[in-house]
Structure 1
Amino acid sequence: MNTRVVLGGIAGAIIIIAATVYVSRRTDHDSHAASGEVIEGVVQDGSGRRVLYWHDPMVQGQRFDRPGKSPFMDMQLVPKYAEEGSDTGVQISPALTQNLGIRTAAVERAEFGDRVSALGRIEADERRRYAMPARVEGYVERLFVRAVGDPVSKGEKVAEIYSPDVLSAQQEYLALMSASGLPNSESLVQAARRRLALFGMDEREIDAISKSRTAQARFGVYAPATGFVTDLNAREGAQIEAGANLLSIADLSQVWLIVEVPEAQSGHLRAGDDVTATLGNAPNREIKGKIDFIYPVLDPQTRTARVRIVVANDSGDLRPGMLATAHLDAMSRETLSVPSEAVIYTGERTIVIVRNDNSFRPVEVRIGAEARGRTEVLSGLEVGEQVVASGQFLIDSEASLSGVLARLSDDGTQNARMSARDEAAQVSAQPTDLISATGRVVSVDHEAGRVTLQHGPIPQLNWPEMTMAFRLADPQLAHSLGVGDVIRFSLRAKPEDGAYVIETATKEAQR
């Protein structure tokens, strides 16, 4: 009886252990991919992490569905795991992000305006020019200004004129004032007074003769504004005709700056826009003004539009004829922007690196104007996104090793860019696009025209010292190489059909 109980207990324990092992293996199979298992055509590595594909980290854009030796390098293929990020980004740990000094900035809205620079000249304000014509025939008895450029003040007497007509009108006016008993005498006196004013007599002189009851042989000509004499057509003793211009005055307390703006840029300007300008004789001095008028006709020869800018000149330092460079800010607009340091130019496209948690991805953008350290973004980003403003080239190199940028470059509809490392390799390889290096021949395949070399570091491609197979541009070159030879070879900077090509190879003396 005891024996049966013991045997039954042992059998039950075996059944429980077997069931436990089965369930454990079943659960492990469900949660972890077993080594050699194929998921969606890709062989797994048994680590429990989902393998998306196998690749050679030194050759961009090449994927394999199973592990093995790289056909390009003397190394094993490595897995690309699902949690390492998608094909459009690269994962970087927070600790590494801090060590690399990566700094991000938000995509924000900012105001931008097209800035136009144009050369112009200072001119007198045409609305502040004054002509002083003679209203009656007569003679210039006295002239108080002697030359063009003399300053005058408003109300200052500039000349005295003798005119028989004005003298006769004064006597008539005084006679009417003395007459009594005449009908409408007051209206006749006022009419005679108005006649004197029309002849050019100043109201103060008319009041003076009204009080003294004595006619004056000469009457004065007074400046209508403060300014400078720009034309002087009279001399003392000269006879003048009615309507002849005695002199002209320009008020320079406000001047015009006339600039010529190219046709393509003139459409962005509006009256009232602020303008800053620098003078040719004082480039460090800045003057301010506003656009007053944009002339409606273009110059048919230069295809430019004349723009009139009003500038205050209280100090009188601005003189007609001076040259100045005007900087015109066109109508401002609010648009998306990023720090200018975040923009990467490859020569083929413009890129920024966008951060999403610990994932970084390159995004192609279309940019516009640049001002005050920020660059206008016309498309490719949204407000609030975080872009890398410092350390983006380090991220770019990491993205290149993972093949992100190469895959993006192959698809014209996706955002992409060339890596800073590849760009540097191209620049350093100019103008022949070849990279020189040395290595030792490990093996030679005469039929395939390939050679395997153990070479030193190649900084242009960011390669460490390693053993790697190359294709020969001229397969006959393989017959001149032997195992153990130390050669100096020229390598094309870009792979062709997944393999790097040696253009030339020469043996070096053995040491």
Structure 2
Amino acid sequence: MKRNWKSNIVMTALFLLLLFAAACNKNGTHAEHDTYTCPMHPTVIQDRPGTCPVCGMDLVRKARPGEAVEITEDLARLIKSPNETVVASIRTIKGEYKTMPVRIEAQGVVTYDTRNIFTIPSRTGGRLEQVFIKYPFQSVKKGQKVAEIYSPELLTAQRELLFLLENDAQNEPLINGAKQRLQLLGATESQIKTLIQRKEPQNTFAIYSPYDGYVIAETQQAPVAPTAAPVSSTAAPGGMSDGMGSTSASSSTQSTTTTAAPGNLIREGSYVTSGQTLFKVVNTSALLVELNLPSAMANAIKKGTDVKLDFGDGEVQQATVDFVQPFFNEGQEFLTVRVYTKRSDKLHIGHLVRARLAGSSVEALWIPREALLDLGVDKVVFIRDKKVLKPKKVVVGARTGDVVEIRQGLSSSDEIAANAQYLVDSESFIKTQK
């Protein structure tokens, strides 16, 4: 009886222990019950696997408490921002350190040297009865009539000379003085002879140009070459037919000429005073071609550099660079290059000209153009770092043919992507390395 009693107590204790373990297991299972949600719509939550009723994507299980994802080296590289690294297995190249001749194509404009500007003044005050110069940059010849003026002072001087000739013809000092006064007022010798022959004063006197050239307005400035236009380059050593006849797409999109407001020329009916400038005349020998090149070309372009000029009429002229000046305007740095031409008599101010410059050879690190990504202000290449490509800012120099000079930011041992454009889509934003 004692053994049976002890056995019953043991069996009862075991039974209670099993019930307690089952209850604990049931509570633990309920605590760790899984939930599933949609990656695109977090508000969708279910207690079993399935699909999202909004987008149809498979639901994924939420992480249980205490669960953590192991971050491996490959996973850490992939979860980086895509604007910092690019994972790709594309062809890479290395820059080549060599000497390359620079051939530059650019657009310029026919302008003039402001040091060779002459004026046609009015020698006397009066009213302009006729003006034969109608628009700026109109060509004039020496001795050409440019205006006719009515001047009371000139009319009085004519009458004085005629009075002396009629009443005191032997008084040569007075007669010569009257003639000299007419000359000082702008009358020519032929006009004085005509006056003496006719013995009748003229109401208007003609004003003639003493120079050959082009007329410009009083406040007008010289045209300047395009500053915003990109410069295209080529390494082809051939003649002008392999590029000068057509403009590249990059250089033709922004090839506008910057010209100051032309101002107004003096018109008929205007009153002028003694010594007032009627017209300004630019001497034909002062015409030149002005080019604006990127500042990166400073090492390749010097005084005496050969230039081929195409004026658009099928004729190509050989010339040389006469003046090179660094210039800064509206946040842009460039070189102003002036070229004097021999055919100035056939040129017109403001005429666009295509030019090809044979710059000196440049010894530097060169990479293909496709390997360079132009972001506007910054220039970027993609450098291989283990299994990824990282963008890095570089400083470029001259461009010739299909290669670009790299001045800073890259060494000859660096591997870079052969085609930088392939790594970037239209919505990407590149963070460059310093």
Q: So what's the TM-score if we normalise by structure 1? A: 0.36
More relative contact order, 1 or 2 (CA 8 Å, 6+ apart):
2
Larger radius of gyration: 1
Q: So what's the TM-score if we normalise by structure 2? A: 0.41
